[in-house]
Structure 1
Amino acid sequence: MRLRGRPVILIGTGEMAAAKRRLLERAGAVVVGEDAQAALAIVVDDEGAVARLKARGVLVNAVDRPDLCDFTLPAIVERGDVIVAVGTGGVSAGLAAALRQRIEAWLPADLGALARALHAARERIRARYPDGGERRRAIGAALAPGGVLDPLAGDGDVEGWLAGAEAAPARLAVFAITSPDPDQLTLAAARALAQADRVYHAPGIAAAILDRARADAVRIAGSPPAELPPGIIVHLEDRR
């Protein structure tokens, strides 16, 4: 939610309330008291205020009380316009913070510059790849590990990529599934599923495995056809 210039109610005192105030001010919010008109509120140790605000239709974050929260605040990593959020639904802020610290070490400091360059080139990218599916695949291939725009490699030459961009051919990746546990997927299989346009699979493949594919990927029980459709195709064979 964009908070710049918008009022947010903050109720509470002490170190936790001060930390929430800093977070809100960093986002550009206008911190106000309980009687002000606002859509959101953060409340520290005051269940009575939580009840009063909810009765007014205000959405409330009750610090360390996930059962009372209408929304939660994830731990965030910022690189300019790139923001990575790690949330646990309020169950464990400590776990979210620990994961954020790990991610901080992975992301290059100039990642925001790559985002801005892609944004500036969006019309040229659209012109080069007028078909939405082809455009998504081309961008995905460029940003993939080892791709010309690999965001973790720190070399975001968008202009050079566009100058040499070519239509991506259909690609088929076949993986043998030996366990219903998605954590047993190889790194290659997990990456392929995350990029796939279509996932062909044996009937017995576990739903937890199929859930690792992109949310909008087509899932088809059976084998891929001899003439492949365009895009990234993954075939999961049952080898259990």
Structure 2
Amino acid sequence: MRHFPAFLDLSGRTALVLGAGEALQAKAELLRQAGALLLPAERFHPALLEGVALAVAAGAPEEELSALHAACVARGIPVNVVDRPELCSFITPAIIRRDDVTVAVSTGGAAPVLARLLRQRIEAVLPPLLGRVAALGAKFQSRVRARIPALPARRAFLERALSGTPAKLAEAGRQMEAEAAFAAMLDDAEATPRGFVQLVGAGPGAADLLTLRALRALGEADVVVHDRLVPEGVLELARRDARRIYVGKRRAEHCVPQEGINTLLVELAREGLRVVRLKGGDPFIFGRGGEEAQALHEAGIPHEVIPGVTAALGCAAQAGIPLTHRDCARMLTLVTGHTRDGVLELDFGALARPGQTLAVYMGLSTLDALHQGLIWEGYDETTPAILIERGGSEHQRELRGTLAEIVEAAPGWAGDGPVLLLLGEAVGMGAPPLPAAAAAAAASLPLP
């Protein structure tokens, strides 16, 4: 390790900024954010170093840069000359900030671009409100020390609190609830901590369509309660030692009834576990997440909802279909094809109105009833339509045509995967999807 990593307290201390240019301005801004008092100079003189805590330079003549470096080394003052490792006694790292939480990445000056790329990856992993978790720990620091004087026990408690329910609430921006949960844990520090449930949307199937927040939740979960539509590739992103519980459903076949799932989530949380309820698509769009959230609320279990890419968005995007279009579709309507007591309860008059795109979830088994209801209300059965099976995944299949053609061909075409129906003039206006070879090449490009 060539450089010793350290964080300097520059608040109210003087930093010499020698030279000019954008690179120097960027360094100066970082110093200003750290509370340093800037001393700008275009030419170097040793007297400038009086009372200086640190010096940076760029865009100055070579002899000025060399003189600055020599003088700083002689006085023991840290010095950094931009892009000149041989004239630096310290390296400015790539920085990730979350309020009071700071992460620094350095390659020792060997590959600054690599440090920036690593910073991007770390940025994606850290919650945006992570600093609020740090603030939570700071607020209760003295109380924790007084309540739990023994260091090992105190450390174990803080690990539970700063990775458990109080931290999750803080990361979700619910600071008052986070403080209340922390205080409750501290008051009863030896009791089993109360768990936390996250209702997470897994998206339409492709693992790389998960949100960053969903990815973080999976990486921290003790238990993952998942549906049939969640593919193995998404489940593999969970913690390796996380327990998996399958509660999948298909039409008229529920391995665990919804009431049983609600009870299961409450019981797991009461064991002090971090629970991810993983659903295909979005939890609050035909996912019964509202019922689960209500059950958790009534049981007093802290929880949050992490939205996912719903099937209509994932399917349409992969098929190259715009769901709205200013020439023909200024409204998008999402409906379910599931029946209630054997009846397809839909407002067909509203659905038959022009100027909209219809996205029908789980409507394959009731496609004939949907067709008849729309035609009864005057819907044009030559309207462009598409059936999409396993949409948003690498196994997506499509059946395109008019509504009448789709209804006729669907029985012989359908497989065993989930199917979405899109209807409307916009369905016929989509650009053709990117060829597979071009899509693969595009996917291999580095992140910006």
**1:28-87 C-alpha deviation (Å, 9 max, x unpaired):** 212223432213111226223212332333221122233432222122122222212222
Is 1:100 aligned to 2:123, yes or no? no
Structure 2 CA distance for partners of 1:67 and 1:140, relative to 1, 3 Å: farther
Q: Unpaired segments of 5 or more residues in structure 1? A: 170-186, 190-240
CA contact (8 A) 2:129 2:171 kept: no
CA contact (8 A) 1:125 1:162 kept: no
Measure how far apart 1:131 and its partner are: 0.6
Structure 2 CA distance for partners of 1:52 and 1:161, relative to 1, 3 Å: closer
Is 1:2 aligned to 2:18, yes or no? no
Q: Could you say what secondary structure the match of 2:56 adopts?
A: strand
Structure 2 CA distance for partners of 1:53 and 1:138, relative to 1, 3 Å: same
Q: Could you say what secondary structure the match of 1:84 adopts?
A: strand
Is 1:148 aligned to 2:165, yes or no? yes
Counterpart of 2:54?
40
Measure how far apart 1:168 and its partner are: 8.2
Counterpart of 2:33?
26
Counterpart of 2:182?
161
2:69 and 2:114 map into 1 onto residues whose CA distance is: 25
2:126 and 2:77 map into 1 onto residues whose CA distance is: 36
Give the RMSD, CA atoms, in angstroms: 2.8
Structure 2 CA distance for partners of 1:143 and 1:49, relative to 1, 3 Å: same
Structure 2 CA distance for partners of 1:128 and 1:56, relative to 1, 3 Å: closer
- State which structure, 1 or 2, has the greater radius of gyration over its C-alpha atoms: 2
2:57 and 2:77 map into 1 onto residues whose CA distance is: 12
Measure how far apart 1:139 and its partner are: 0.9
- Higher normalized contact order (CA 8 Å, seq sep 6+, divided by chain length): 1
Q: Could you say what secondary structure the match of 1:31 adopts?
A: strand
2:171 and 2:26 map into 1 onto residues whose CA distance is: 34
Structure 2 CA distance for partners of 1:85 and 1:24, relative to 1, 3 Å: same
Q: Could you say what secondary structure the match of 1:94 adopts?
A: helix
Is 1:64 aligned to 2:83, yes or no? yes
Counterpart of 2:345?
none
Q: Could you say what secondary structure the match of 1:10 adopts?
A: strand
The count of aligned residue pairs is 171
**Structure 1: 4+ residue segments shifted above 4 A:** 150-153
Structure 2 CA distance for partners of 1:161 and 1:17, relative to 1, 3 Å: closer
CA contact (8 A) 2:166 2:181 kept: no
Q: Unpaired segments of 5 or more residues in structure 2? A: 1-7, 193-238, 242-448
- After TM superposition, the structure 1 = structure 2 runs for residues 109-128 of structure 1, keeping only pairs within 5 Å, are 109-128=128-147
CA contact (8 A) 1:137 1:168 kept: no
Is 1:16 aligned to 2:33, yes or no? no
Q: Could you say what secondary structure the match of 2:25 adopts?
A: helix
Structure 2 CA distance for partners of 1:168 and 1:93, relative to 1, 3 Å: farther
Structure 2 CA distance for partners of 1:12 and 1:161, relative to 1, 3 Å: same
Structure 2 CA distance for partners of 1:161 and 1:26, relative to 1, 3 Å: closer
2:22 and 2:112 map into 1 onto residues whose CA distance is: 16
- TM-score by length of structure 1 reads 0.61
